[in-house]
Amino acid sequence: MSAQLQELPRIRRMGHADLDEVVAIEREVFLFPWTRGNFSDSVDSGYHCLVLEQDGRLFGYGVMIIGPEEAHLLTLSIAAAAQRKGWGERLLRHFIHVAREQHARSMFLDVRESNHVAARLYERIGFKQIARRKDYYPAMGGREDSLVMELVF
Ligand SMILES: CC(C)(COP(=O)(O)OP(=O)(O)OC[C@H]1O[C@@H](n2cnc3c(N)ncnc32)[C@H](O)[C@@H]1OP(=O)(O)O)[C@@H](O)C(=O)NCCC(=O)NCCS
């Protein structure tokens, strides 16, 4: 009998060696994905780029910028097979923890108006909608508004 031990999932910094997996997930979950260059530039710029990993495989990631007072979450994704298990919330809470440690006073993000799953996650954690950017995102057959959300720490 052989017992297969699973490693516990962990959150760690994203590096260039992760980009193949990151881009594969990105293309799986977004209709208008970031490019490999977007992620590569984010890593090179020293943004807070984090991945979720288990047994050597990535299943989620996010990118955040922290300024003197405020943090901006630029993207957050969980691979389709790992969604609805609480990992999005876990990674988001980790970003909030990092932003607080770096003395940010609030976190901002944009979410597509139609992305109810993501918006519900942000609301559950305490984000409030503070603005709307008209036609901010490309969409099938046109453009779509973004909802700007803020969490005050
Ligand atoms: C948005 C996203 C990051 C959320 O990640 P996730 O891991 O699925 O999020 P969670 O599991 O924490 O929460 C999502 C839902 O799963 C539910 N859930 C959490 N744990 C669960 C569990 N163990 N069993 C069943 N459902 C569960 C939550 O209650 C929530 O339900 P709701 O949408 O009805 O409120 C993910 O769906 C994703 O990557 N989407 C595509 C990319 C995207 O839209 N990113 C955000 C851009 S702004």
Closest CA to 80 of 32, 126, 27, 119: 27
Query: Whole-angstrom Cα distance, residue 89 to residue 40?
Result: 25
Return the pLDDT at 68. 86
> Can you give the residue range of the structural domain that contains 45?
10-152
Overall number of domains in the chain? 1
Is residue 3 included in any domain, yes or no? no
Read off the pLDDT of residues 1-50 as tens digits, 9 standing for 90 and up.
556 778 889 999 999 999 999 999 999 999 999 999 999 999 999 999 99
CATH of the domain at 100: 3.40.630.30
Q: pTM of the full predicted structure? A: 0.95
Amino acid making up residue 18: D
pLDDT surpasses 60 at 64 = yes
Is residue 75 included in any domain, yes or no? yes
Is residue 4 included in any domain, yes or no? no
Mutate to test the pocket of ligand 1, among 117, 120, 129, 147 (most ligand atoms within 8 A of CB): 117
Return the pLDDT at 2. 52
Is residue 58 included in any domain, yes or no? yes
Q: How far is the CA of 2 from the centre of ligand 1 (A)?
A: 33
Is residue 40 included in any domain, yes or no? yes
Cβ–ligand 1 distance for 136 under 6 Å, the answer: no
Read off the pLDDT of residues 120-140 as tens digits, 9 standing for 90 and up.
999 999 999 999 999 999 999
